[in-house]
Structures are given as C-alpha cells and as structure tokens.
Amino acid sequence: MIPLSEPADLARACRTCRMFYYMCLPNLYSHVKLKSYDHVRISPETARPEGCGMGSPFVMGLNALAIRPVAQYVKEFEVIGQYKEPGAEDYAGVGRVADGAMMANILVRAAIDRMPLLHTFNWSLNIKMLSVVWETLVQKNTLTTLKIKFPTERMPSPIYTVPAMPYLKSLTVYDIDPLCFPDNLQTLFHESLNIEYLTMHWSPRMRRERETSTNLHMYFGKIWSATKKMKLKSLAMQNLYCLGQQGNFLGIYDPAYLESMTAIDATGGADDDANVSFVVEPPKRLAPMPRLRALRGNKVSRPNCDGLKKMAPLQRYFLISGRELHDDRTPSNSRTGSVASPGSQISDSQRGGLFYDGPRSVVGTPQSHGEHRVSPPSVSGSNPFAAASTPSSMSDTPIINLGRDYIDNIFKHHGATLTHLLLLPQWRLTSKDIRMLTINCKKIEQLGMGLEDSSFDTLQSIIPNMRRLRALRILDPPANWAGMDGANGSPRAEDEWYEEKISDQTWQAGWDVLKWLGLGSQVFELLARERVSPIANDNSDNDDMDAEDSTRRRVVKRPLSAVREIDIWKLDKKTIVF
C-alpha cells in the first residue's frame, strides 16, 4: 500500500466515496499553507483569473477555515506571501491600521480559534501580525513552534508586548528592524522557559548601512536583570550589528545545554574592513559547552580558531562560503574563478585524469608540477593554502593565513567525531592535509573542501580510506579544471565525457558507499555497478577481457536541485531561515 501524501491525491480520494472522505480529510487538512499574491494571477488551465466570481484563493481559504468544520484537523498553519493594501500610507499618516490588514488579522484569528490541535504557526506575510493574533496564540496550549516575519516598511504601527507562551519550544523571528516597529519580545524571552530552539534574523539593511539601531538589551534585558538563562539546545543569529557595551552575550543562555549554534554575519571576521566595529566582543574565557555537536558560520577569526581547541568534539562543522551556484552554463573562467588565460585549450592527451594535472601559474609566474607552495604577494611563504590560486581579493588573504591553524584544530580536536565537514574554498588541502584527513576523520559522511592537487589520484587516496563517505564536494576546483569545459563541443558531449571519466575511475572497491560527487557547480550521482560489453582490440594478443574491465559504475549528471537536501549543499547558504 502506498501512503497518500500529496494534497491533490488526498483531495481526489476524498471525492471517491464517503468512507475515503472521512479517512483522508484529517490528513488533507493537517498542514494548511495559504499564500497571498499582490497581483491577480491567471490560471494556466482555464486562462481565467484565480478566484473569478468569488474572492481570492487566500481569502477563500481563510473563510473555509473560519466557518467550516475542517479547522479542527489543522496541526500546521502557514500564511505567507504579499498582501496588497491600497492606500496603506494614508492610513498610517493618520495613525490607523489599514482596514484590509486589520480584517486579514481578524480572519486569521477566527481560523486559529477553531484549531484545537495547532502546534505550528508561521506568519510570513508582508503586513504586521497584530495583537488580535498574538492574543489567541498565547491561549493555545498545544502551540510548540512559532515563526514570525516582521514588516520591512517604515510605516507606523502599534507595538505589542508579547506575553509569555509557556508551551512554546521553537521560536523563529526574522527581518527584525527597530525602525519598522517590531513587537516587544522581552517578556516572551524572559518567561517562556521551555524555548529550546531560538532563531533571530535582523534586517541586512543595518549591516549594509552600518546602523547600530539595536542592542541585545532590547530583547534579553530582563534575562540579565533576573540573572536567569535560557536553556537553549539550538541558537542561530544572523545580521546582528549593534554596540558592544551591553555585557556578555553568553549571559543569555546556559552553555551547558547548547547542542547547535549558527552565527552568520553576527560576529567579527578576518575579512572585515577597518570600518566594521563589532559589537559582540569575543569572550575572554570560553564557557564549556559539553553538549555542543553542530557549529555553522561564515566568519573566520583568530578567537574563533582558538576556540575550536576548547570545544567539546563536534559532529557537524560548516564554514559557509556564500557562493551561489547555478545550473545554467556560464563561461568557465567566470564560473570557477579561474586564473587561466582566456581561450586556453587542453587536448585529450593532456587530461590524464578527471582533473587536468598540468602546470599552474600564480600571478603569471610559471610553476612546475612539483612546486605547490608558491605564495601570492603579501602572503607568508609557509602558508600551504596560498598555492592553488591567487586570492580573488585582498580580503581573502587573512582568511587564507588562518587556514593552516583551522585545519589543524579541526582534524586534531574534532576529527574523531566529525560526520559532516564543510571548509572554505580558499583553503586548498595539500597531500599532507589529505593524509591527516584520512587518519583522523574516519566517520565523515559528507565532506566539502578545496584541493591543491587536481589529479584524480588525490580522490583515490581519500575515498577508499573513508568508508562512510556518501557525499563529496570539491568546492572550487583549480583553474585548469575549468579549462576542460566545452573542450568536447556541445554541453551534452561535455557531460557525457565527465560521466564516462568518473565511471571509469569509481567502479573499484572502496567507492561503493559514495553516492554524490560535486565538482564545482556540477553534481554527479554515482549509481550501482553495471556490466558493459567488451570492446574488441585487434592489437591485443589476449582475446579474453578481464572480468573487472567489463564492470563500470553508472554515473549520471544531476541538477543542483537534486542535492538541495544534502547538508554540504543545503547549508552552504548565507541564511538561517529556510
């Protein structure tokens, strides 16, 4: 029996007969997601406006939940999208909430009041959630997960002091901007003692304009005054930019309970320019976090690097590069940041392996295959991560200089427990680093890194020694790897060449567990082994082909959407709100 999960399938089953109606109706309405649009959409099936003859699908959905006996089955409720309110500025000018926004809040309130099983609520509309909705959410003793988006327009609106929600376990608030009238969350943080998962996202405008219009006392002042701490299991913050004289940030939560931490543009980093002055000063002494198992961020610095030695062994560590990948084909040099000369061609005899393993150049200086430690200007010659290519900008130089210490601390202090590891593409691992990786990190299941040596022999030294590795991602392959793009003519011919080359190299023992291989912006799925027909060779004295020569691993190129749920791709984004 195949379970029905798609709403369309469940809806059709409800129309089949009375028995199926009663069986499928609770599942059909268990998760309701209503999306509003700021324009009239034309249905592609009927070529008519959606909701023609009635209201918009968004409003009609709210009406159905408010008046029909289906809201009793709703467990997860989401309202998202753009709610258009003509003349909202005129209402704000006279100190009134626009009528349409008020009515939308009242309709949502009426729907929630009829949901006795509601445990997850998501408000992601562009209008503000008003007190009428907050008041009914506070009364829901089943509500455990709450996600709120604050408005991004500077129109005056009433500010509501959110009371305690004792049953709440997960809270996500994003697009916080003090100039856009967000609600007061101090009491909620102070008295909601069961919150275990906290995610806070501030508007990127404050960092972009270097505007210190917020501070942590606005949210956690009552916690500091009462000398009590939140027992958080997960803490994620993004775009925090404020003055730093507000006390110790660690006073917000008890580090003994923390299991996962994410900080994106919320601390200082080695690539910050002189005009950025960060607020949250690094603690003089890192508090012990015995349960911390996952760490994710995009800033590297000397205090963060030294802190890795004092942390409990991590299982998941992600350093975000923030580079957006696309499936569309662009010129090879622009796609991979190549320093190879334009128009360079590589013949088939030069390929040698999956990656081209020929001479490289750094800042136009010839370099032989054996010389892997040429340093770019202003970079120490002892830095092994400076060999593969010149930093794309001077801000990359301090990041590269920290690479050696980061790699050493990760491998030595966390390697025995790591299962997921994502490094920065600027850090090109040498053969010595690869040996440390295979010796110290035996449990890794997903790995993303840059390589100094572009030959396929490097991968052959990694995969057979890491028996649990399911996904491998080469973040920013060396420049000459990009020179092969388009060498075979059409894009499909190029893809077939890669598939065949990977298939030839990955059929041996030791590659069985690996399923996904990423090369820059390309993704390949490694499927089961298959037997291929022997090819006759007239120059061979032996007519029999070895059994292993007729076995290949089936390899297929996939779009990036195929790996959107694999962590080394999914979490390599500068966002904490998914």
Condensed to tens digits (0 to 9), the pLDDT of residues 71-82 reads 999 999 999 999
* Residue 264 contacts residue 576 (beta carbons within 8 Å): yes
Other CB atoms within 10 Å distance of the CB of residue 244 = 15
Evaluate if residue 147 carries a pLDDT over 80: yes
Rounded CA separation 298/266 (Å): 9
Residues 400 and 391 sit within 8 Å (Cβ to Cβ): yes
Residue 351's pLDDT band, with cuts at 50, 70 and 90, is very low
Task: Say if residue 281's pLDDT is above 80.
Answer: no
CB-CB contact of 251 with 224 (8 Å): yes
SS3 460: helix
415 vs 255, 295, 407, 444, 459, CA distance in Å? 22, 14, 10, 8, 19
pLDDT digits (tens, 9 = 90+) for 88-144: 777 777 778 888 899 999 999 999 999 999 999 999 999 999 999 999 999 999 999
Res 544: pLDDT: 47
pLDDT confidence of residue 390: 40
Instruction: Determine the pLDDT at residue 337.
Output: 34
CA–CA separation, 361 and 385 (whole Å): 15
Q: Check residues 370 and 86 and name the one with the higher pLDDT.
A: 86
pLDDT in tens, 379-401: 333 444 443 444 445 457 888 88
How far is residue 423's CA from residue 519's CA, in Å, rounded to a whole number?
Answer: 15
Q: Which of 107-116, 380-389, 530-539, 555-564 has the highest mean pLDDT?
A: 107-116
- Euclidean distance between the first and final Cα of the chain, in Å? 32
Round the average pLDDT of the chain to a whole number and report it: 79
Q: What is the Cα–Cα distance from 493 to 107, expressed in whole angstroms?
A: 56
From 155-159, 274-278, 485-489, the region with the lowest mean pLDDT: 485-489
Q: Which of 254-268, 362-376, 542-556 shows the highest mean pLDDT?
A: 254-268
pLDDT of residue 491: 66
* DSSP state at residue 248: -
> What pLDDT shows up at residue 372?
34
The predicted model gives 331-346 an average pLDDT of 34
The Cα 357–Cα 351 span in angstroms is 7
Q: β-pairing, 516-519 with 522-531?
A: antiparallel
Under the banding of pLDDT at 50, 70 and 90, the label for residue 361 is very low
- Tell me, what's the pLDDT at 326? 59
The percent helix, strand, coil of the chain (3-state, each to 5) is 30, 20, 50
DSSP structure string for 9-60: HHHHHHTT-HHHHHHHHHHHTSEEEEEE-SSPPBPTTTSSBTTTTS--HHHH
Q: Looking at residue 282, what is its pLDDT?
A: 52
Say how far apart CA 44 and CA 485 lie, in whole Å: 38
pLDDT at 217: 84
Residue 285: pLDDT band (50, 70, 90) is: low
Predicted local confidence at residue 210, as pLDDT: 82
Q: Is 232 helix (H, G, I), strand (E, B) or coil?
A: coil
pLDDT value, residue 275: 53
Q: Is the pTM of this model over 0.85?
A: no
Residue 234's DSSP bridge partners are 197, 260
* 285: DSSP letter: S
Q: For 269-290, what is the mean pLDDT?
A: 61
Least confident of 1-10, 138-147, 309-318, 517-526: 1-10
User: How large is the average pLDDT for residues 550-564?
Assistant: 87
> Angle at Cα 125 formed by Cα 175 and Cα 183, nearest 5°?
50
Exposure string (b/e) for 110-134, b if CB count within 10 Å is 16 or more?
bbbebbeebbbbbbbbbbbbbebbb
Least confident span in 138-142, 527-531, 572-576: 527-531
Reported confidence tier of residue 466, pLDDT bands at 50, 70, 90: confident
The answer to whether 79 and 108 have CB atoms below 8 angstroms apart is yes
Q: What is the mean pLDDT of residues 414-434?
A: 92
Give the per-residue SS3 of 510-531.
CCCCCCEEEECCEEEEEEEEEE
pLDDT at 336 over 50: no
> Is the model's pLDDT at 329 over the cut of 80?
no
Is residue 478 scored above 70 in pLDDT? Answer: no
Across 119-133, 441-455, 549-563, which has the greatest mean pLDDT? 119-133
Look up residue 523 and give its two tokens: 């993704």
DSSP β-bridge partners for residue 552 = 530
CB–CB of 265/574 below 8 Å?
A: yes
Whether pLDDT at 198 is above 90: yes
CA dist., res. 383 & res. 363, Å (int) = 16
